[in-house]
Structure 1
Amino acid sequence: MNIAIIGYGKMGKSIEKIAKVRNHKISFFSNKSPCPILLKKSDVAIEFSRPDSAFKNIKICIENHIPIVCGTTGWIEKLHLVKDLCEKNNGTFLYSSNFSIGMNIFHEINHKLSKLLSPYSINYEVKIEEIHHKEKLDKPSGTALVLAKSVLNNQMKKTWTLDPNKKKDKILIVSKRIENIPGIHIVTYQSKMESIEMQHKAHNRDVFAIGAIIAAEWIKDKKGIFSMKEVLGI
């Protein structure tokens, strides 16, 4: 499979390394918006760039009929426009805030746990702590927001906040940026009598790279909009 890498930073280099181990070829890599002529040589594109350039990159790929896997966060307010583009162009798009296989299973566990605790929500405070490297631009992380969404969908809390002084009836999200931390997420459900704490820790970027490549392999000959739930069958 010929893979275009859009966003050739640390994440892009990790994708390149693992793609070659899995016997794929890199058709091109770029830190700029992809050239349509070069895209034609690709079977699929993997996009890990910046929040301010992600939508433009996605648009170019879809309009040129190249399936695209996107792991850039911080642009999700334009997702409805991507859905329109896919429908108009019969395109292929897969987005995830986190491509770690373990984290996607972690999401399912969190969803189930918050659903089970929902009848007793008045007794529990919910906190999500996320820690990432200093280069990560968006805060809170996209993964933290997905974890919070599960809690909100199960009606445990009304919304989320970054302000510890305004956490009543809300999910408190704590965001930290520390050098050389690929990603740590901790979800805590705490009452006066007990605490339930779950943690996922990424040891390096390869865990995200291999998930993105597995996703790219999966969508290659498909049409539509997908997530890691379909890839993993969860």
Structure 2
Amino acid sequence: MKIALLGYGRMGQAIESIAIERGHEIVLKIDKNIESYNLEEIGIDVAIDFSIPDAAFKNITSCFKAGIPVVSGTTGWLDQYDEAVEICNKNNAAFIYASNFSLGVNIFFELNKRLAGMMKNLDEYGVEIEEIHHTKKLDAPSGTAISLAEQIIEVNDRKNGWHLETASDNEIPVFAKRIEDVPGTHTVSYTSKIDDIEIMHTAHSREGFAKGAVVAAEWLNGKTGVHTMRDVLSSLFE
């Protein structure tokens, strides 16, 4: 595939390395001004977006208007997600957004949903989420932690929201810690007077996130419509 990288920070560079290892070609690297490029003339099969929140919507929708499929892992712009989906469908493009592209994290999401369903009627257990990332991560809590919280809220009638650090009885507290050189650790804890139950995912490097994004791009190439990482996982594990 011919891949455009929208955002060429540490994640973009990790994606470039994985993509080349898997036989793909990087034909465009954009840090900011996407409007200075004629995307239709470059011959892009798929774009992978790990840009900054302020640039994400413009980057993604410019690709859609050129008929280019987009895989996006940028967080902090989702107030415009529905508008982006509308532009995607209008231009018969393709889109996958995920708060985390790591294949391990997406398996962790499935475990989280399963555990939340098992725990939903056990009101003696409280639930909380902790995430730890490197000090250069801009948003807190992480998009992955928010996704974990929303999965629990979807099945647990006793929870109708989440809140950073302090939470009411009907909210899930989410704790965000920033420590130098930590790629990402997420823990979901259920605690009672009798015992504790925890599930945890720990990333050892950015390679897992980068590989998952490239795998998603490979899967999306040639498709149209809006998809999820669950669709990608289904094709891998069927």
TM-score class, shorter-chain normalisation, is: over 0.9
Number of residue pairs matched by the alignment: 232
**Following TM superposition, by how much is the alpha carbon of 1:136 offset from its aligned partner in structure 2, in angstroms?**
1.1
**Following TM superposition, by how much is the alpha carbon of 1:163 offset from its aligned partner in structure 2, in angstroms?**
3.5
Matches within 5 A, 1:175-186: 175-186=176-187
Per-residue Cα deviation, 1:38-60 (whole angstroms, up to 9, x for no partner): 45321110000111111111110
Measured in 1, the distance between the counterparts of 2:130 and 2:121 equals 24
Measured in 1, the distance between the counterparts of 2:153 and 2:33 equals 36
Measured in 2, the distance between the counterparts of 1:200 and 1:33 equals 35
Structure 1 unaligned regions, length at least 5:
none
Alpha-carbon contact 1:36-1:64 (below 8 Å) kept: no
In the alignment, what sits opposite 2:17?
Answer: 17
Alpha-carbon contact 2:71-2:96 (below 8 Å) kept: yes
Measured in 2, the distance between the counterparts of 1:109 and 1:191 equals 20
Where 1:157 maps in the other structure, the secondary structure is coil
Alpha-carbon contact 1:55-1:78 (below 8 Å) kept: yes
In the alignment, what sits opposite 2:94?
Answer: 92
**Following TM superposition, by how much is the alpha carbon of 1:125 offset from its aligned partner in structure 2, in angstroms?**
0.9
In the alignment, what sits opposite 1:2?
Answer: 2
**Following TM superposition, by how much is the alpha carbon of 1:133 offset from its aligned partner in structure 2, in angstroms?**
1.1
Measured in 2, the distance between the counterparts of 1:87 and 1:49 equals 22
* Equivalent residue in structure 1 for 2:114, among 99, 112, 115: 112
Alpha-carbon contact 2:160-2:170 (below 8 Å) kept: yes
Measured in 2, the distance between the counterparts of 1:105 and 1:223 equals 24
Alpha-carbon contact 1:28-1:38 (below 8 Å) kept: no
Matches within 5 A, 1:90-169: 90-120=92-122, 122-155=123-156, 156-164=158-166, 166-169=167-170
Alpha-carbon contact 2:2-2:46 (below 8 Å) kept: yes
Where 2:54 maps in the other structure, the secondary structure is coil
Where 2:194 maps in the other structure, the secondary structure is coil
Measured in 1, the distance between the counterparts of 2:180 and 2:33 equals 28
**Following TM superposition, by how much is the alpha carbon of 1:134 offset from its aligned partner in structure 2, in angstroms?**
1.4
Structure 2 unaligned regions, length at least 5:
none
Alpha-carbon contact 2:61-2:88 (below 8 Å) kept: no
Measured in 1, the distance between the counterparts of 2:118 and 2:179 equals 33
Measured in 1, the distance between the counterparts of 2:37 and 2:94 equals 16
Where 1:113 maps in the other structure, the secondary structure is helix
Measured in 2, the distance between the counterparts of 1:63 and 1:187 equals 39
In the alignment, what sits opposite 1:55?
Answer: 57
In the alignment, what sits opposite 1:45?
Answer: 47
Matched residues, percent identical? 47
In the alignment, what sits opposite 1:71?
Answer: 73
- The residue type paired with residue 60 of structure 1 is S
Q: CA RMSD in A?
A: 1.3
Alpha-carbon contact 2:39-2:66 (below 8 Å) kept: no
**Following TM superposition, by how much is the alpha carbon of 1:103 offset from its aligned partner in structure 2, in angstroms?**
0.5
Measured in 2, the distance between the counterparts of 1:33 and 1:123 equals 52
Alpha-carbon contact 2:39-2:63 (below 8 Å) kept: no
**Following TM superposition, by how much is the alpha carbon of 1:36 offset from its aligned partner in structure 2, in angstroms?**
4.2
TM-score of the superposition, structure 2-length normalised? 0.94
Per-residue Cα deviation, 1:91-116 (whole angstroms, up to 9, x for no partner): 11111100110100100111011111
TM-score of the superposition, structure 1-length normalised? 0.95
